[in-house]
Amino acid sequence: MAAADAGRLAELYRAQDCFGLRDALAGMRAGDATTDFYRAAAAVAFNRPDEAIGELRRFLASPQAAADAARRQTAYELLGDAYVRTFRYAEAAEAYAALEGGMAADSAGRENAGNVRGLWAALAGTPAQTIEAPGPVRVATTRDRANLVNVEVESGGQRIGFVYDTGANLSTVTESTAREMGFRMLEGTVRVGSSTGGDAYARMAVAPELRIGGATVRNAAFLVFPDSALAFPQISYQIRGIIGFPVIAGFGATTMTRGGELVLGDTAQAEAGGEQNLCLRGLMPLVAAEHAGQRMHFGFDTGAQSTALYPPFLAARRALVEAGGAPTPVQTGGAGGMRQVQAYTLSPLVLRIGGREATVPQVRVYAERTTDDSERLYGNLGQDVIRQFESMTLDFRRMQLRFR
């Protein structure tokens, strides 16, 4: 492989641009370790974990992996992601144990690997998550005090509204709710990143059986936070629980309508020729959207009330953003606390997603880092985009986000 090609693939991967990486690889022949490594990375991103596992194991056995510590570390992290997607928690823990034991590129990599290893090791004896449903299941939703979509979840004789949130890497619950619903608490604590850029600490639990409408979810993994970590006293608001990516993706495809109905396991056919405009970074959905003819990649978070744009968008559209006035201080945060950052206001934002146009009247453009993702993504799309359409389908089999 030419050095320029290798450098281009490395830059696309560093920028978390799985769509650009996929397109660049389409014109390259397989056969060398560098190309095969990035093909495995693309397979993880486009939700083909079984394919990726074999390719990553071959790469890790190659001389190049032995000589390139940074890429070797990434390969182990990707391998861990692929195992988690298939609920092979013990093997995911082994991948991170290898990093902790010396395969990481540096001490920071070893420390992070030790924490992640603890997360999956806690789940090592847990059976794979399964979902049983008689077909597409229709579920009514409500809106809570923060105007987030809630779905009723039943377990242990209790029925409680949980936020339905594609932006949650894992499902989440408060300590008191986990006890009420009979979740099985696991040993140890794990450090997790928060939306303030700091750290929060959580335990792990397993829900032996959850019912969502007519569907039964077994062995769903949950992060368990102290009640206070998911409390927002400034608006008298308490989150009890969050249904996150592993459960949502387990249904294959899910449709959310403007009228407030969820269709879990939606079997509606994709439009002919529909693009793969959805990919995954770890357990976080990313979506491709066009702004002024340029494709950009965004986080996609049904738990976010509003769309937010990040410093890479500011860098790409500085003149447009700065024409709207100077930045002002705003509060941002979530589990782990609040912090103040500088942000511009852009009016309006016009995006094209999957052939459909969405216009958001006003969005914040953050001028500084708010999370790790804010350094690489152009922004995070929220409910103000979703509300532009009659329905939205998240299809994790075809890797498509479709609006109608």
Of 122, 142, 163, the residue at which a domain comes to its end is 122
Longest dimension (CA), the chain: 61
Task: Find out whether 139 and 257 touch, Cβ atoms under 8 Å.
Answer: no
Residue 179 lies in domain: 130-264
Between CA 125 and CA 132, with CA 130 as vertex, the angle to 5 degrees is 150
Of 92, 122, 152, the residue at which a domain comes to its end is 122
Q: Is the same domain home to 200 and 256?
A: yes
Q: Residue 15: how many CB atoms within 10 A of its CB?
A: 16
Residues facing residue 128 across a β-bridge: none
Q: Is the same domain home to 107 and 231?
A: no
Q: Is residue 97 part of a domain?
A: yes
Question: CATH number of the domain that 64 lies in?
Answer: 1.25.40.10
Residue-by-residue pLDDT tens, the chain, 404 positions: 677 788 999 999 999 999 999 999 997 877 788 888 999 999 999 999 999 999 999 999 999 999 999 999 999 999 999 999 999 999 999 999 999 999 998 999 999 899 899 999 999 999 999 999 988 999 999 999 988 889 999 999 999 999 998 878 899 999 999 999 999 999 878 877 554 445 678 999 999 999 999 999 999 999 999 999 999 999 999 999 999 999 999 999 999 999 999 999 976 655 545 789 999 998 789 999 999 999 999 998 877 889 999 999 999 999 999 999 999 999 886 555 678 999 999 999 999 999 999 999 999 999 999 988 899 999 999 989 998 999 999 999 999 999 99
Q: Is the same domain home to 233 and 145?
A: yes
Q: Is the same domain home to 286 and 372?
A: yes
Q: What is the pLDDT of residue 189?
A: 81
Q: What is the pLDDT of residue 197?
A: 45
Q: Is residue 238 part of a domain?
A: yes
Q: Is the same domain home to 81 and 160?
A: no
Q: Is residue 271 part of a domain?
A: no
Q: Is residue 272 part of a domain?
A: no
Q: Is residue 18 part of a domain?
A: yes
Q: Is the same domain home to 117 and 138?
A: no
Q: What is the number of domains present in the chain?
A: 3
Q: Is residue 270 part of a domain?
A: no
3-state secondary structure the chain: CCHHHHHHHHHHHHCCCHHHHHHHHHCCCCCCHHHHHHHHHHHHHCCCHHHHHHHHHHHHCCHHHHHCHHHHHHHHHHHHHHHHHCCCHHHHHHHHHHHHHHHCCCHHHHHHHHHHHHHHHHCCCCCCCEEECCCCEEEEEEECCCCCEEEEEEECCEEEEEEECCCCCCEEEEHHHHHHCCCEECCCCEEEECCCCCEEEEEEEEEEEEEECCEEEEEEEEEEECHHHHEEHHHCEECCEEECHHHHHHCCEEEEECCCEEEECCCCCCCCCCCCCEEEECCEEEEEEEECCEEEEEEECCCCCCCEECHHHHHHCHHHHHCCCCCEEEEEEECCEEEEEEEEEECCEEEEECCEEEEECCEEEECCCCCCHHHCCCEEECHHHHCCCCEEEEECCCCEEEEC
Q: Is the same domain home to 146 and 249?
A: yes
Q: Is residue 269 part of a domain?
A: no
Q: Is residue 273 part of a domain?
A: no
Q: What is the pLDDT of residue 198?
A: 54
Q: What is the pLDDT of residue 136?
A: 93
pTM of the model: 0.88
Cis-peptide into 348, omega within 30 deg: yes
Cα 103 to the center of its chain, rounded Å: 26
Question: CATH number of the domain that 195 lies in?
Answer: 2.40.70.10
Q: Is the same domain home to 75 and 162?
A: no
Q: What is the pLDDT of residue 240?
A: 97
Q: Is the same domain home to 114 and 141?
A: no
Q: Is the same domain home to 14 and 92?
A: yes
Please report where in the chains the tokens 């006003």 appear, as a residue.
Answer: 362
Of 104, 122, 140, the residue at which a domain comes to its end is 122
Q: Is the same domain home to 11 and 70?
A: yes
Q: Is the same domain home to 346 and 253?
A: no
Task: Find out whether 209 and 224 touch, Cβ atoms under 8 Å.
Answer: no
